[in-house]
Structure 1
Amino acid sequence: MTIFRTLLCASAILACTGVAAHAQADLERLSQFKSTGTTEFKVIEQDGSKADAIRKTLERITLPQGFKIDLYAIVPDARHMAVGPQGIVTFVGTRKTEVWAVTDRDKDRVADEVKNFAPSLAKAIPNGPCFSKDGFLYLAEQNRVLLFPAAEFFYESPDVAAFAVIEQGELIPPEAESYNHTARVCRVGPDGKLYISLGQPLNVAAPEDLDRNTKWGIGGIIRLNTDGTGREVYTYGVRNSVGHDFHPVTGELWFTDNQVDGMGDDIPPGELNRQTAAGQNFGHPWYGGGDVRTNEYKSDEVPVEVVMPAVETIAHAADLGMTFYTGDMFPAKYRNAIFSAQHGSWNRTEPVGARVMVTFIDDEGNAKMEPFAEGWKDENGEYLGRPVDVAQLRDGSLLVSDDLAGALYRISYEAP
């Protein structure tokens, strides 16, 4: 039996090694503008009973006067979104193995086509796509960062130009890889650098991991040049941020942070944070959320100066993706406000969240958050949808992704 198990383990290792080698070979071919031989896409049906059921759910959603919400696309496992600067295609990440390309070809504000992007390239938790202003698509995976130049052009083919900005296994140390808190997000900042969040893998970071986490930026946000050089830790003391963006006027980084579980229904609060300088620390693991100390570190002296959140959100609502609104479609009061998604709780006796929030910021940086779109939770507390991310289309409308329903919604406005 021991020999049999040894052979099975050896076979598994060889199989995984072979898959990894094949995937690396495909990436190398794509980076040399050579074909991999892949010819097929997965194309997602956009009509039928699933679409009808989602539209029925959307009848429940409440919005301020003048706003409406419609089904934009069926997109399985839809997570974070990157809208192409040319307005041609929206790329949608997942926590699985696919990135989806969503196209509205006739510009009727409903997607005509949803197909998998770069099907010739194996991906691992490709949650976080983001664009530079000049059309370079970056993709933050579990432990790699890819670059796709001219993605809005090449997406029509199964083979796309692709390069590794950070090679597999070099975003975080392989020993820090986990199935928990692996959904990376990225943004290209006003300084032209790439910002990537790295959730720490435990509920509360262990003491023996703190030095490693600090060095690598695990439980923080790193920034680097878009060619992969110049890596540094920009943000410390974060538990698991899955949404960040830069204020259009001040250039300051704002980000959501999911806080500690297992402390009860009502504590600690979630967070929306405002960062005004590089290197600031936002309190984890000494604080579980807001000024609530974690059980594991409550007797420890806090060794750093901590920046408290700009907004404390309802506990366990799971604030995720966010974007500053810069469009002209919505009323003027929404200009430079933050739209953000509350995914909803998994460990609360009474479920909360599953809605889109809006945060208004005054000239001094004070922030006030309120519900904007809600109704994805029924009278029994059952989730009918779980919003993940918010992104702005070129016409000033908003897209909202939902990984439970597997859909993108479009929120638009017409003056009453």
Structure 2
Amino acid sequence: MIRIQPICALSLAAVLAGGAGSVAAQTLDPNIERLQEFKTTGTDLEIETVTQSEERAANIRRILEEINLPPGFEIDLYAIVPDARHMAVGNNVGVVYVGTRKTRVYAVTDRDKDRVADEVKVFAPSVEMQVPNGVCFSRDGFLYVAEHNRVLVFPAAEFFYESPDVAIGVVADQLVPEEEESFNHGARTCDIGPDNKLYITLGQPYNVPPKEKLELYDELGIGGIIRMNRDGSEREVYARGVRNSVGQDFNPANGELWFTDNQVDGMGDNIPPGEINRATGPGQHFGFPWYGGGDVRTNEYKDSEPPADVVFPEVETVAHAADLGMTFYTGRQFPEKYRGGIFNAQHGSWNRTEPIGARVMFTSVNEDGSAGDHEVFADGWLDEETGEYLGRPVDVVQFLDGSILVSDDLTGAVYRIAYTGVEE
């Protein structure tokens, strides 16, 4: 039996108190040791920034002229952010932390509060990161970064981000065994649940995994969602049977976890469907790899008995549209129709003869907690005549003022969608 125990470099309290844990030396990055002792690393104080080129901004805004929105809504460029993936909004200042599938997290600041960012700079440049795709904030101001195979925590991120050196902790030094690391389906996402635990999606590396991998993956939560205490202790598998989730959020009305899931490729243009799932508690199985999406059986497991009590998706989305980041809308800016519902980004298809996706979807949620209508909210990033993607939305988050932000890793940008009530 193989077990992975999360490695806690230091407790969250120790981070703030200036204490360093005994595991710090196990990290490959010597700067983390120094930062845990509140020592400087010698990193250049002039942090690298991303030029907000007027020419490039104008070109992106020309693309946004093609975006279709419901009446009364408008979209604008919020910031130019290279490789923009998942986002987390700071609780107070409203700094937007943007992850990437490369080596950087960016801190995006609107200093004059005109709802267009003034500054985009590298966050924590003294720390080496690998695929820091997943970023999430706790209500008490801790920023978590879920890398490909590690989870970092940055206490008081909105305070320390102005410096290259930041307060830091290592929550988990290994999410999967090194021999299971893969470039495929390795972008993690994270969220803090109503139970104050950290939830992390762990996509499995195959289109459909071989049977000899199932026992190991089942044990470790690869192809599932794991949760742990915020200091990394008491890791457990929360949900199984998930092919590759790259988006999750909790329903504020009842605390249930919802997540998107990207389904099996190579089965045809119109099957299997993508998924938005609803976990009503721990220990549920969502069907993969016996089901490739919805109730469509995979060829590889069609003669094998699925687990009992499989939970089928709350919403079946269009095949291969690649549903990624999602958020429950809790703001007051948007009309009543959207309050309590889900916005999610469709990245767009690659495994389809006619492309689809590259849009933001909206799903209403009924009083009983089930999904209601599922519809297009914003589209136009796909040129349907040529099949060219003009943008590829990745994530949707709610900003402090009740608008929503949408990241796009093709254009390298973050957009802001606001409700003005003024119809064009």
Question: How big is the shift at 1:133?
Answer: 0.2
What is the distance in 2 between the residues matched to 1:22 and 1:389? Answer: 30
SS, match of residue 210 in structure 1: helix
2:111 equivalent to 1:105: yes
Give the corresponding residue for 1:133.
139
Deviations 1:40-87 (A, max 9, x none): 422111123211110000000000000000000000000000000113
Determine whether 1:355 maps to 2:359. Answer: yes
CA deviation vs aligned residue, 1:126-158 (integer Å, no higher than 9, x gap): 000100001000000000000000000100001
User: Share of identical aligned residues, percent?
Assistant: 67
- Structure 2 partner of 1:231: 235
Evaluate the alpha carbon distance shift between residue 22 and residue 49 of structure 1 in structure 2; reply closer, same or farther with a 3 A threshold. farther
Give distance in 1, aligned partners of 2:47 and 2:244. 33
Tell me if 1:28 matches 2:29: no
Task: Answer yes or no: is 1:248 the counterpart of 2:260.
Answer: no
Inter-partner Cα distance in structure 2 for 1:217 and 1:23: 24
1:268-347 matches, cutoff 5 A: 268-347=272-351
Shift of 1:275: 0.8
**2:9 matched residue in structure 1:** none
Deviating more after overlay: 84-93 vs 252-261: 84-93
Give the drift of 1:366.
3.2
Aligned with residue 87 of structure 1, among 79, 90, 93: 93
Corresponding residue to 2:51 among 33, 36, 45: 45
Query: Could you tell me whether the CA contact under 8 Å between 1:87 and 1:393 is conserved in 2?
Result: no
Say how many residue pairs are matched: 395
| 1:126-165 alignment runs, 5 A limit | 126-165=132-171
Contact 2:363 / 2:371 at 8 angstroms: preserved in 1? no
Where 2:29 maps in the other structure, the secondary structure is helix
Give yes or no for contact 2:68–2:379 (8 Å, CA) kept in 1.
yes
State the alpha-carbon separation in 1 of the partners of residues 213 and 373 from structure 2. 35
Cα distance in structure 1, aligned partners of 2:372 and 2:324: 17
Specify the alignment match of 2:261 in structure 1.
257
Q: For residues 388 and 114 of structure 2, what CA distance do their matches in structure 1 show? A: 32
What is the SS of the residue equivalent to 2:389? coil
Structure-1 residue corresponding to 2:12: none
Distance 1:24 1:44 in 2: 25
**Equivalents in 1 of 2:210, 2:91: separation in Å?**
41
1:124 to 130, 144, 154: 130
Distance 1:277 1:135 in 2: 26
The reply to whether residue 220 of structure 1 matches residue 224 of structure 2 is: yes
CA distance in 2, matches of 1:284, 1:200: 11
Amino acid at match of 1:65: P
Distance (whole Å) between structure 1 residues aligned to residue 372 and residue 414 of structure 2: 27
Separation (CA, whole Å) in 2 of partners of 1:176 and 1:195: 20
- Give yes or no for contact 1:310–1:367 (8 Å, CA) kept in 2: no
- Given that 2:49 and 2:121 are in contact with CA atoms closer than 8 Å, whether structure 1 keeps it comes out as yes
Q: 1:269: Cα distance to partner?
A: 0.3
Report how far residue 23 of structure 1 moved. 4.7
Q: CA deviation at 1:21?
A: 8.6
Is structure 2 residue 398 aligned with structure 1 residue 386? no
Instruction: State how far apart, in whole Å, the 2-side matches of 1:86 and 1:393 are.
Output: 11
Instruction: Give the Cα separation in 2 of the matches to 1:143 and 1:186.
Output: 13
- Superposition CA RMSD, Å: 1.2
Aligned equivalents of 1:193, 1:34: Cα separation in 2 = 29
| Structure 2: stretches of 5+ with no match in the other structure | 1-24
Matched AA of 2:33: E
Give the counterpart of 1:369 among 368, 371, 374: 374
Instruction: Give the TM-score, by structure 2 length.
Output: 0.92
User: How far apart are 1:304 and its partner, in Å?
Assistant: 3.0
1:405 is paired with a residue whose SS is coil
Q: Deviations over 1:303-361 (max 9, x none)?
A: 33200001100000000000000001000111110000000011211110000000001
Q: Does structure 1 retain, via aligned residues, the 8 Å contact 2:94–2:400?
A: no
| AA in 1 matched with 2:386 | N
1:114 aligns with 2:120: yes
* Distance across 2 between alignment mates of 1:314 and 1:41: 42
Distance 2:304 2:28 in 1: 46
Q: Is the 8 A contact 1:81 1:391 kept in 2?
A: yes
